[in-house]
Structure 1
Amino acid sequence: MSHQDTELVNVSHLLRSRAELGTAFPRILGYFREDGVKSIHAIEEAFRTRNSAALVSPAHTLKGESAQFGAYRLSAMAEQIEMTARRCVETREGPDELIETVVALRPCFSETMAMLDRDASPLAVRRPATFGRRAETPVPGFGRAN
């Protein structure tokens, strides 16, 4: 299965995490952004130097933190990097097979953060839009002659 087939962000998981974190959500999201940038940089650098062992820790960190926010695609990509790097360490091989995933990691992180930032915005509308539809529970007698 291609990573593109994996859901970018699972909204129900994200909403559950948001509810659990409450007012700390924007702060924790900021930590995730900082850690994510560092992890991706470390992954790219380890890949450039063909250092399979150096891929494991930042990929593991990115996998767990992404999962916390329901960022399924990013988490799956990080997991593939981590598990492949572990195998490469055991077999003493270079991580060349990871090139497509490593190259796609930063754009996926950017797309994920854009979606998470929209949800974290205090200006974001958190209820379903009713534009063009009748309200589900109209107030009797309000706005129309009975």
Structure 2
Amino acid sequence: MFMLEYRALSWWYWLVTVGFLTAGVSGWPTGFQFAIGLTVFQLIHFSIRERSITAFPIQVRLGYLLLLLIALPEKLQLIYWIPTIGTWAQILFGYCTMARMVSLLPWNRKEAFSFDLLKRTFFSVPVRGNILQGLPSA
């Protein structure tokens, strides 16, 4: 059930990020800014490592950063609960909702958008690697 990938650098990035988000939703709003800063750092690091800004890990981090930035205004900070809970799910169980959502973008899928694709995308068991590798075919 648990999928603690502590040997992967990305897992540690997410762990520290969720620590900042947890601090933010617990009453330390500066934690949100630290989470955004670390996500920008991650985005740069993985862009250099992947050598392509269109690589799947970059798309996931960019989507995550956009969500964090959307939630930054004080009136929208309740939204931070979404990435906080989602990132804890990623850290503990390997389930990344953002990666699953990004996998549904037209340039990341090979089959037509359908209810069956949605069901398989969001209800398939987490896999090591990324959702594009582990999504069961139709």
Taking structure 2 as the reference length, the TM-score comes to 0.44
Specify which structure has the bigger relative contact order, considering alpha-carbon pairs within 8 angstroms and separated by 6 or more residues.
1
Please, what TM-score do these two structures have when normalized by structure 1? 0.42
Q: Which has the larger radius of gyration?
A: 1
